[in-house]
Amino acid sequence: MVTSYSNFHVEVRNVKFIADDGRTCPKTAMVSFHNEEGEEIDSELFGAIDVNQIYSLIKEGQDINLDNFYIREFSLSSYRRINGMEKKDLVPIKGFSAKNAFFEAKKLTDFSFASYSPGEVSFDGTHFAKGKTLFNGSVFGDGNVIFSNTLFREGNIEFTGCVFGDGDFMFKNAIVKDGIKDFQDIQFGKGEVSFANTEFNNGDLLFINTHFNSGRFNFKVTRIAGGKVDFHYSVFGDCEIMFERTEFGNSRVDFRTVDFGSGRINFNRSLFGNGEVNFEGATCKSGKIQFKKAEMGAGPKNFNLMEMEDTDISFERTEFGDGDVSFYSSSFHTMSLKSCHLDHYVDLRLAKADLLDISDTIVRDIIDLEPYDFPVEIRTLDMSGMRLLGKLYIDWRHNKCKESVLNQDVTTLRQKAEQFRILKENFSGTGKYEDEDEAYIMFKRYEAKSWLTEQQEKGGIAKIASRIPDSFQWLVFDKIGLYATSPGRVLLSVVVFWFMFGIFYFLIDITGLGKTVSAVDNPDNLSTLLQSFYHSGVTFFTIGYGDVYPTGLSRVFSGLEGFMGVFMMSYFTVAFVRKVLR
């Protein structure tokens, strides 16, 4: 049956209709379909059955087969009124099928508060051509319920409060025109719930407080033009949830406080328009949530307060579009933003995560990682390959930056060094100079470790020779002055060197290999030890009074100490000026 028609015309003829399965009807309805220009594009023949005849079959408890029939003004509300029933009394229907049927009504086609016996209930290929369609309050027994390939031309459909037994609920390939689609407060049984490849067009799509059982929820390749897509307070069992390649249009997408149960939740390649995307307070017991290569528009994206401590969530290669993105106070097992372009503010102040992966990202705005009202529990932070054109709001101590980088299991020493460099440059740009020094020290240390490892892997002479510059760098640049970040440490090293050379001169003197000699007959009566320290001081600081001079082996150490003194004073000056100028 054609679905792309703008209007239709029904002509009921007094001609007997014989269905393919042998069922007969005293009259035939010829339905012609027209395009926007009024031209007929197709026609279809149906058996024309009177609703009162259907009401009689219901009352008698007989199976109802409306396949390929035309039905006008069907209403279980009218049935209840005719039979003296209350408005919400359930109407028992033994067996029901309406495949490829054609319903129309001035106001509504009403299947509300029906109670279907176990077995398949099918509206496959049926057209609800005119009027609102109601199934609210209905109870379905075990068995498949099929609305696949249906057309709801008026767009307003209501399944509020339905209860389904075990079996599949199939709504795939359906077309629902503009209007409100209400699936609130439904209880689904075990089995697949599928809206795959359904076109919902414009209007609110409501699944508020709906309970999905174990099985599979399939929203794959579904298309929504605009309105509100609202799943908040819904509960999923242990099932696979598929929103892959779903097109949400410019709808406001609301998954607030949804319980996703456990399993795999797939939003890969889904398309979100310019409306708000809201997952605030959503929970998941365990499993994976994937938004890989999803595309989002200009609206805000709210992933705050999500409680998913045993769940892995991935936004790898997702396009977040314009608008802020927030994960404030959310908890995940692992979270990945790998290879994303983060062009706007992103709040990554997570409450807890074993791994936060922002590797290979391009950051053009602000990533906020520094909470102020709760402690940070991010064990591992992976920033390898990041292109930081914006800013990171992060604190070396509160965010445990050192530990979060060193906890990485899969990154190389070179990649760790690069991440410390990124932090160093970021802290410099944000004015956190103490944190910059900490990051710079770790950058230089891991740069040195990486270089040594690479030389060791070459083997041969390079393996042996590499130890010399590495040891020099470790002692002089790292231990003596923490890469010129600590003038106090350099000053302490000056005292250590002065003391050390004084001891050397004393030991040389008592072993007879050389001595320090007073050129003025030692007017202060200094002992050999004190004279050794005095000579060490004037030599180290290059004062050169000449009142005490070295002989023997002490000459060699005096020359070496003079060089060390010049070097250390320069080192101290660099470290001190670096601190002061910043």
State the DSSP code for 283: B
Q: Which residue bears the tokens 């914006």? A: 390
Q: What are phi and psi of 253, to 5 degrees?
A: -100, 120
Query: What confidence score (pLDDT) does residue 582 get?
Result: 66
∠ CA(217), CA(351), CA(342), 5° rounding?
A: 75
- Render each residue's pLDDT in the chain as its tens digit; 582 residues: 898 899 999 999 999 999 888 888 999 999 999 999 989 999 999 999 999 999 999 999 999 999 999 999 999 999 999 999 999 999 999 999 999 999 999 999 999 999 999 999 999 999 999 999 999 999 999 999 999 999 999 999 999 999 999 999 999 999 999 999 999 999 999 999 999 999 999 999 999 999 998 889 999 999 999 999 999 999 998 889 999 999 999 999 999 999 999 889 999 999 999 999 999 999 999 889 999 999 999 999 999 999 999 999 999 999 999 889 999 999 999 999 999 999 999 999 999 999 999 999 999 999 999 888 888 889 999 999 999 999 999 999 999 999 999 999 999 999 999 999 999 999 999 889 899 999 999 999 999 999 988 888 888 787 788 888 888 888 888 888 888 888 888 888 888 888 999 899 889 888 888 888 888 877 777 888 888 888 888 888 888 788 888 888 988 988 888 888 888 888 888 888 877 776
- Helix axis angle for 433-458 and 413-429, nearest 10°, is 160
Which three-class secondary structure state does DSSP give residue 497? helix
Q: Are 113 and 91 in contact (CB under 8 A)?
A: yes
Residue 83 lies in a domain: no
The answer to whether residues 443 and 413 touch, using CB atoms and an 8 Å cutoff, is no
DSSP string, 446-478: HHHHHHHHHHHHH-HHHHHHTHHHHHHIIIIII
- Whether 224 maps to a domain, the answer reads no
Tell me, what CATH number does 549's domain have? 1.10.287.70
Per the domain annotation, does 577 fall within a domain? Answer: yes
Counting the structural domains of the chain, the total is 2
pLDDT of residue 470: 84
How many C-beta atoms surround the C-beta of residue 53 within 10 A? 11
| Furthest C-alpha separation in the chain | 143
In a domain, 468, yes or no: no
Could you tell me if residue 401 is inside a domain?
A: no
Burial 269-298 (b: 16+ CB within 10 A, else e): bbbbbbbbbbbbbbbbeebbbbbbbbbbbe
Structural domain boundaries, residue 534: 487-581
* Residue 534 domain flag: yes
Would you state the pLDDT for residue 373?
83
In a domain, 525, yes or no: yes
Residue 538 is assigned to a structural domain of this protein: yes
SS (H, E, C) 89-149: CCEEECCEECCCCEEEEEEEEECCCEEECCCCEECCCCEEEEEEEECCCCEECCCCEECCC
What's at 323, amino acid-wise? G
What integer pLDDT is reported at residue 163 of this predicted model?
Answer: 97
- End position of a domain, from candidates 26, 48, 70: 48
